């Protein structure tokens, strides 16, 4: 198994060495990002000024609006951590699989919530111009709101 991991890592770095350092910087940024560090991080070091950010809840255009979004998002998050599992790159695109663990006082009785997801990043002019996150919105939010929790679980059981 370890040989497979080494092979994948070697193959990934061979695919797109020109964007690999930027993707590493992206990972470091997210591993250090929280409500206390947000004002200190340099998002412009990884994001293009015309970045487009999308997830199942938002569509954001531009670095200033992305920073404002993160500021409001992280405001009530007590703790957040990203663990990156796999990175696949080509000439201008990277896909990163991750686990986000976060704590919010209004969700899950303030206990940690783990969410599996992936980010698709497109690079232009040595910066990320497009960032699209994919994750289960129910697992991130809806299943941890008391009124919706049982409804979501019921629907998931019915669907499986």
Structural domains of the chain, ranges and CATH numbers in brackets: 2-159 (3.10.450.50)
pLDDT score recorded for residue 105? 86
pLDDT in tens, the chain (160 residues): 455 445 445 444 444 555 688 999 999 999 998 888 888 888 999 999 999 999 988 899 999 999 999 998 888 888 999 999 989 998 899 999 999 998 888 777 888 989 899 999 999 999 999 999 998 765 555 555 566 556 666 666 777 7
CA atoms within 13 A on the CB side of 10: 6
Tell me the C-alpha distance between 87 and 99, whole Å: 13
Note whether 128 and 122 are within 8 A (CB). yes
Q: Output the six-digit token pair for 130.
A: 């497009």
């Amino acid at each position: 198994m370890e040989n497979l991991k080494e092979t994948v890592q070697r193959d990934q770095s061979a695919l797109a060495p020109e964007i690999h350092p930027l993707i590493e910087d992206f990972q470091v940024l997210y591993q250090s990002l929280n409500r206390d560090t947000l004002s200190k991080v340099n998002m412009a070091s990884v994001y293009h000024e015309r970045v487009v950010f999308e997830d199942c809840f938002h569509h954001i255009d531009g670095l200033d609006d992305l920073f404002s979004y993160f500021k409001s998002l992280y405001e009530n998050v007590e703790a957040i951590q990203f663990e990156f599992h796999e990175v696949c790159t080509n000439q201008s695109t990277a896909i990163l699989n991750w686990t986000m663990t976060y704590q919010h006082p209004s969700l899950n009785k303030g206990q940690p919530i783990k969410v599996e997801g992936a980010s698709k990043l497109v690079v232009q002019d040595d910066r990320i111009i497009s960032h699209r996150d994919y994750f289960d919105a129910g697992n991130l939010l809806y299943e941890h709101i008391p009124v919706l929790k049982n409804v979501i679980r019921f629907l998931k059981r019915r669907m499986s």
